[in-house]
Structure 1
């Protein structure tokens, strides 16, 4: 549905990030249709490790809004990705097959 990245001018957090950061980093979020799609997508990936804490050298992924205490403003289908040091083509291929598996 939508890509979220503070480096994109269209991102709701762009203005704040541009004012506070010297760069935009390697954390990207995508919004899928719903929680079921987000869970299925995360489960279908081979290289991206499910993790709550992002920012290591390995690529990690987390579906947000899994807990009742999270704000309702967080979309149920929101998935955060932290890009690590793996081969970028392998990561793209893994994401592509994950998205294709949702069809």
Structure 2
């Protein structure tokens, strides 16, 4: 989630922008969420731009 450029790192508030959230880091050590889970809320940006942004971010991590 730290390497995306178009996605905002936030919890969804029902807006129109694309958001990415790493729930386990928000909830802390006792979170029941898997450490490798990212929650995506897709907004109105171009889908291809969002896909490319996720791809470049994940490529740097894998």
What's the TM-score bracket when you normalise by the shorter of the two chains? 0.7 to 0.9
Higher strand share: 1
Structure-to-structure mapping, 1:70-89, within 5 angstroms: 71-72=31-32, 74-89=33-48
Aligned length: 61
TM normalised by structure 2 equals 0.83
Cross-structure match for 1:68:
28
Larger Rg: 1
Task: Say which SS state the counterpart of residue 61 (structure 1) adopts.
Answer: strand
Matched, 1:101 2:60: yes
Unaligned runs of 5+ in 1: 1-41
Hey, what's the Cα distance between the residues in 2 that align with 1:56 and 1:70?
29
Give TM-score scaled by structure 1 length: 0.53
Which structure exhibits the higher relative contact order, with contacts defined as CA atoms closer than 8 Å and separated by 6 or more residues?
2
Over the aligned positions, Cα root-mean-square deviation in angstroms equals 1.7
Runs of 4+ in 1 over 2 A off after TM superposition: 67-72
